[in-house]
Structure 1
Amino acid sequence: MTSRTAFPDGFLWGAATAAYQIEGGAHADGRKDSIWDVFARIPGAVADGHNGDVACDHYNRSAQDVALMRDLGLQSYRFSTSWSRCMPDGVTPNAEGIRFYSQLVDELLAAGITPWLTLYHWDLPQALEDTGGWANRETAYRFAEYAAVMHEALGDRVRIWTTLNEPWCAAFLGYAAGVHAPGRQEPRAALA
C-alpha cells in the first residue's frame, strides 16, 4: 500500500553544507587558518589524516555546483560563510573572501534558489582561538562584528540567516571532549 505525502505550502526542498567541509581554497585570496585547519593537522585527530584544503573544491566550482542544484530542482541552499575567509584574523574584513559569497548568492538567486546563510559552522578563525577562542568573551563581540559585516555585504539579497550551527557540538565536542576542533579538553571552557 502506498500513499502520497503532501508537504505544506511554502515547504522548501534544499541541501545544506558547511564552508570547511565543501569549499577547499584553504589559503586562496587571503583566507587564513580556521580551528579545523589546525585541528586536522594533528596526527590522529581526523580519520585518515583528511583535511579541508581542497574538499569538494566548491570555492573554484561554485557555478557548476549551483547549476547542479538547479538541475536537481532544489529550492534552497543552506551554506555557511567561512569567518576565516571573510575576516581572516577574526577582525579585519577581506574583500576577496566576501566577494566569493556575494557571487555565490547572485548565482543562487539567478538559478531560482533561496540562499539560506549560516554565519558559523564550527570554523572559528585560528587567530581568535589563539586569544582564548569561544571561552574568551571578546570572541562574542568579534562575532557580532562579523555578523554585521556579512549582513552589510549580503543582507540586501539574503533573507534567511542562522547564527550558529549546532552550538552544543562546537562547545562540548570542541572544548570539553576534544574530538572536534579546536580539540580542547576543558569542560570550563565549554561552559563559557
Structure 2
Amino acid sequence: MKITTVLVPALVLGLTSFTTQAQHRVKHDRIDIHHDRKDIQHDNNDINNSKKDIRHDRNEVKQDNNDIHRDKKDINNDRKDLHHDYNDARKDRHDIAKDQKKGDTKDLAKDKADLKNDYNDIHHDKKDLSRDGKDLTADRKDRNRDNKDIQQDKHQLNRERKDKQHDVKDLQHDKKDLQKDQKNS
C-alpha cells in the first residue's frame, strides 16, 4: 500500500510534466512553422524582384542593341558623306587646275569657294564620324554592363531559390516535429 501511495502520485506528476513539456514543444513547433512560412514568403518576394530585375536588364540590353544598330547606321552614313565630300573636293581641285590653265578667273573663284566648302564639309563629316564612333563605344559599354547585371541577377536568383528550398525543408521538418509532439501530448 505504501508503494502505491508514493508511486501513483509520482506517476501522475511525471505524466503531467511530460504532457506539459509536449504541449510546450507543440507551441514552439507552431511558432517555428509560422517563421518558416514567413521566410518562404520573403524568399518568394526576393525571387520575384530578381526576376523583375532580369527582365528590366534584358530590356535595357535590347535598347542598347537598338542604339548600337542606329550608331552603326550613322557611322555608315558619315563615311558615305565623307567619301562623297572627298570626291567633290577632288573634282573641284581638278576644275581649279583646268580654270588656271584656261585663265578663267570667274570660274576659278567659284571653284575655289566650292573647294573651301568641301573642306568644311569634310571637317564636319570627320567630327560626326568621331562623335558617332564614341557613341557606339559608349553604347557597347552600356550593353556589356547590362549583360553583367543580368548575370549577377541570375546568380542572385539562384541563391534566393536555394534559400527558399532550405526554408521549405525547414518547414517540412518542423511540421514532422509538430505531428510527433502532438502524438506525444
TM-score normalised over the length of structure 2: 0.17
Question: Which has the higher Rg, Structure 1 or Structure 2?
Answer: 2
TM-score between both structures, scaled by the size of structure 1 = 0.17
Considering fraction of residues, name the structure with more helix: 2
Is the strand fraction higher in 1 or 2?
1
